[in-house]
Structure 1
Amino acid sequence: MLGAGAAMPIPANAFGNKEKLRVVLVGTGVRGISFWGKRLVEQYPDLLEFVGLSDINPGRLDFAKTYMGVSCPVFIDFDQMISETKPDLIIVTTKDSNHHEFIIKGLNANIDVLTEKPLTIDETKAQAIIDAEKKSDKNLIVGFNYRWSPYITKIKELLNNGEIGEITSVDFNWYLNNHHGASYFRRWHGLMDSGGSLWVHKATHHFDLLNWLLDSDPVEVFAYGDLEHYGSNGPFRDTNCRPCAHKADCAYYWDITKSKHDMDLYVANEQHDGYLRDGCVYRPEIDIYDKMSAQIKYANNAVVNYSLTTYSPYEGWKIAFNGMKGRIEAWLDIPFMNNESMSQEELHAAEMNQNSNEDMMFEPLVLHKNWEDYKIIQVSSERSGHGGGDKRLHDKIFINPDAADPLKHSAGLRDGVMSVLIGVAARKSITSNQPVKIADLTSIKPTANRT
C-alpha cells in the first residue's frame, strides 16, 4: 500500500475488524454534520459510532452534537480528541485550507483518513500530504461522490466499451445559477486563501470526473479567469445581508432568518469566531474568480475545453466527448431541456437532499457513431444526493469496502491530487499568462493510462 499511494487510487478498504468503526469528525459546518454526520448516524448505526467531534467554534460543536443525535464528547483541541478517543477513522470537513493539517496528523498517528473534497488548495500542501501518505500504512480516501451517480456511471461504461473509439477532445460547461453560485461568494469560499478559488473548491469535482472518465492524467493547463460580477464590482455593499441598508435594491439579498437551521448553526454562534454565513457578495475582500475558462491537455493526447459560470440564470452542466468513431453528448438539470417548472433554489435543495424517497427518473444522453443515425439512450437517474452518488459512495465505504470496483469509482490520493492540480495550474496560468505543466507541481507525475 505504501508503494501504491502515489501511483494509483487507493480503494476504500476495510478499516478493521472491530464490532463498530470508531469515527471522529473535524469541522462541524453544514457539510460535515449532515452528509458526513447525521446521514451516517441514521444509515449505519450498526456499523459505526461517532466517538468525538472537533471544531474551533464551541457553539457549532454543541449544535452538531444535538443535530447529529450523538452522545460523544466534543473538543476544541483536535490533538486531544485523537489522543483520548483513539479513532479508527478521521473524517475531515473543515475549511479547505486546513484539510492538509488534519490529514497529515491522522496519517502520522496511523489512522485512516477520509477527507471531503478538495484534498487541499495548493501544490505545497498537496506535496506535504503526498509525503505523509508515503510514510503511512493507512488509507486516505477522498469523498468524490459525483463519480457514483448512475448517469455519470453510464457515460463511463460507454467510453470504456469503446463506443466512440479513442477520445480526442471534450467540451465541458458547468453553470452555477445566481442562487447557488452566489452562495460561494457569501461564504469563506470567496477568499483565495480559504478555498483556493472555485477552480479548486468547486471544479475539483469536475476535474476529477474528467480524469476518471478519460482514464488519463492532465499534463498542461492554460486558463483565463476574472472577477467582474461579484466583489467590488457591486453597486453597493455591507458586511452581510442582515444589517444592509440596500436590501430592497439588491438582487442578491438573502434573508438567513428564514432558515432555522442556518440560524441555529451559524448565526447563534457568530460570537465565537466572527463568521458571517450571510456575507455580502459585494465585499471588497472577495478575490476569487467568477468567470473561468481553461484548456486542458491530457497525457493520452485528449484536449478538454472547460468553463465554469457562477451567475447563470439556471444551474446544470453539459458535456460532449468527441472520439475517432463518434460523439457522446450528455447534460443534466438544464431546465428548458426538461421543461422544468421548479425554481432554481428548489432544484438545488432537491439535489442536496440526503433523505429523498423520490422515484428513479430517466435522463437522456446522445450516442452518435460516425456514418450512423444517432441514438437517444435513456439512463436511470436520481435527483437527490448528487444524482444518487452520495448513498452509493457511503455504501461502498461503510458496507461493501471489499466489493469489486471494475470502473474504479473509489478515489484516493492520486485522484485528489490530480483534480486539485488542474485548478492550481489554472490559477498559475491566469497570473503568468502562460501554460502550466502539471509535472512541475508535485512529485506525482502524469501518466497516459491510469489503469
Structure 2
Amino acid sequence: MMAVASSRRTFVAALSMLAAGAVLTPASFGSTLKGRKLKVVMVGTGIRGTGFWAKRLLEKYSNLVEFVGLCDINPGRLEYAKKFLGLDCDTYADSDFENMLNETKPDLVIVTTTDCTHHKYIISSLELGYDVLTEKPLTTDESKCQQILDAERKSNNNVIVGFNYRWNAYNTKIKQLLSEEVIGKVTSVDFHWYLNTYHGASYFRRWHGLRHVGGTLWVHKATHHFDLMNWWLDSDPEEVFAFGALEKYGSAGPYRGNSCRDCQYTKRCDFYWDITNEKEDMDLYVANEEYDGYVRDNCLFREEINIYDKMSAQVRYKNNVILNYSLTTYSPFEGWRVAFNGTKGRLEARLDIPYDGERTFSQKDLHDLEMNQDGSENVTSEQIIVHQLWEKHDTVKVSLDRTGHGGGDEKLQEKLFQDPDATDPYNRVAGLRDGAMSIMVGIAARKSIERGEPVRIAELIDLEPREKRI
C-alpha cells in the first residue's frame, strides 16, 4: 500500500510539472509508477474519446496505460465503446461518475464529454483527489471557468488541456522563429482561419450548433487558434472587441428537414450527407439515438441553431500586440493564413490555401487526414516566409505530416505518456491557465458582440493577464 501511495505522489508531482510547462525529472509515467501501468478512466465515449484518446493510447502505449473504467450518459454508446476498444473494464452511467472514481482509484481522468459539461467532471475529479486531462475547450463560459480555477487551487491535483496544434511541426517552427526574434519584437498580427463546406458545415449539424452546449465556435473551434496565438506571442490576451452573425446556416437556410436521413430536399441540398455510408457513425450514434435523442446527421438549417457562422475580432495583448482575427465557416477551401508584423520585418505562414501551389488532397481528404490516427506517409513540404526590412525575403521549408492534426496528436501523446521528462524548449504542454486564457478570448468576443463594446478578460475571471506568460 505504501509503494502505491509513493508512486501516486510521484505521478502527481510529474503531472504538476507538466501542467506548468516545466522539465520533468522522472523518466516516464511508467517508471514513476514502479512497474505498474497508469490507471486511466474516461468520461465521454463519443468519436473523440474513443477514436483519439482511448484507441490510440491502447494501440501505442498499452505497456504503460490501462483503462479501468468508462463512463457516459448514453448506455448504448458506452457499450459500443467498450466493444470497439476491446476493453474488459467496468462501465458506469453518468450519474455514477464519482462511484467510478472511488471504485477504480485512477491515476488520471480523461474528460471528452460535450463542452458544457467538462467543468463538472473536472471539478469532481479534483475534489476527490485525481488529476485530469481534458479535451479542449476547457469549458464554455466564465462562471464555469472560474469554478474550475477555484477547484484546482483548493486541490493538490492538476489539469492538462489537450491542445494538439502546438505540436504540429509547422506551428512549432513558427514558435521557434518568433522566439529567435527574426523579425524583432512583434507588434501586430493578422490571423484568418477558413473552414470549408465539408468540415465547417459539420459543426452546425452536430451539438456544436447550440450555444449552451458548445459555447459557439468562438469557444469550441477558436480555442485552438487563440491558444496558438497566446503561445506564439508568449503573452496573455487582455481586451477583445468582436463582431459576428449567423447568415448561412440555421434559420438563414433555404429549407430544412428533420435530418439528412429523413428529408425531402436531399436532391436539392448541397449539404446533404448520407450517414448510412459511415459504419462507425451508424454504430456509435444512429444505433443509440433512442437513449438520449442525439441525432448525428441533423439538419444544419434547423431553427434552433443559435451560434455565429462568421466571426471577426480585434484582441489587445498585455504586451501591446494587436491581433486581427477572423473565422469563416463556409469557405470553398479549408486553410489558414497568419502574418506577424515586427520591428525588424514580417513573418508570413499559411497552410492549404489552394492558390499557393499544387494541392494533391481534396477538401474531404484534407479533413480525413487531419482526423486519421493510423499514420501514413502523407508528408508535404510547407513554407514560412521571413521578410526583414530592406532585405529580400527568405523561405523556410518545413516537412509536415498531414495525418493526426499535422502529426500533433502523436507528439502530444508521446510527451504525456512516454517521455514526460524530455526537454521541450517550446513549452508545448498546456496547463489550466493556458486553457482558461484560450477560451476567455472567445467568451469575451461573445460578450462584446452582445454588448457592442470592448470586453476586458480580467472583468470576467480572476486571472490577471501577464505581459509574459512564462
Shorter chain as denominator, the TM-score bin is over 0.9
Deviations 1:178-231 (A, max 9, x none): 000000000000000000000000000000000000000011000000001100
Give 5+ residue unaligned stretches, structure 1.
none
Give 5+ residue unaligned stretches, structure 2.
1-11
Matched, 1:17 2:36: no
Q: Which residue of 2 aligns with 1:377?
A: 396
Quote the offset at 1:381 in angstroms: 1.0
For the residues of structure 1 that align with 2:220 and 2:47, how far apart are their CA atoms?
15
How many corresponding residue pairs? Answer: 448
* Structure 1 residue corresponding to 2:55, chosen from 16, 25, 38: 38
Q: How does 1:327-346 map to 2 (within 5 A)?
A: 327-346=346-365
Q: Which residue of 1 aligns with 2:85?
A: 68
Task: Evaluate the alpha carbon distance shift between residue 319 and residue 299 of structure 1 in structure 2; reply closer, same or farther with a 3 A threshold.
Answer: same
Deviations 1:5-40 (A, max 9, x none): 8xx845596665251000001000000001111000
Q: Which residue of 1 aligns with 2:5?
A: none
Deviations 1:300-330 (A, max 9, x none): 0100000000000000111000000000000
* Structure 1 residue corresponding to 2:168, chosen from 149, 152, 159: 149
Q: Which residue of 1 aligns with 2:188?
A: 169
Two-structure CA RMSD over aligned residues (Å) = 1.5
For the residues of structure 1 that align with 2:81 and 2:174, how far apart are their CA atoms?
37
Matched, 1:54 2:71: yes
Matched, 1:244 2:260: no
Runs of at least 4 residues off by over 6 Å: none
Amino acid corresponding to residue 376 of structure 1 in structure 2? T
- Aligned to 2:297, what secondary structure does the other structure show? coil
For the residues of structure 2 that align with 1:10 and 1:89, how far apart are their CA atoms?
18
Q: How does 1:247-286 map to 2 (within 5 A)?
A: 247-286=266-305
* Structure 2 residue corresponding to 1:325, chosen from 332, 344, 364: 344
Matched, 1:426 2:442: no
Quote the offset at 1:84 in angstroms: 1.3
Amino acid corresponding to residue 123 of structure 1 in structure 2? E
Mean Cα deviation higher: 79-88 or 158-167: 79-88
Q: Which residue of 2 aligns with 1:201?
A: 220
Task: Evaluate the alpha carbon distance shift between residue 131 and residue 259 of structure 1 in structure 2; reply closer, same or farther with a 3 A threshold.
Answer: same
Q: Which residue of 2 aligns with 1:131?
A: 150
Quote the offset at 1:42 in angstroms: 0.2
Quote the offset at 1:103 in angstroms: 0.4
* Structure 2 residue corresponding to 1:293, chosen from 290, 312, 325: 312
Q: How does 1:429-448 map to 2 (within 5 A)?
A: 429-448=448-467
Q: Which residue of 2 aligns with 1:217?
A: 236
- Aligned to 1:425, what secondary structure does the other structure show? helix
TM-score, length-normalised on structure 1? 0.97
Quote the offset at 1:360 in angstroms: 3.3
Matched, 1:386 2:386: no
For the residues of structure 2 that align with 1:396 and 1:164, how far apart are their CA atoms?
30
For the residues of structure 1 that align with 2:57 and 2:23, how far apart are their CA atoms?
16
Q: Which residue of 1 aligns with 2:8?
A: none
For the residues of structure 2 that align with 1:132 and 1:403, how far apart are their CA atoms?
29
* Structure 2 residue corresponding to 1:116, chosen from 135, 139, 150: 135
Q: Which residue of 2 aligns with 1:351?
A: 370
Matched, 1:181 2:200: yes
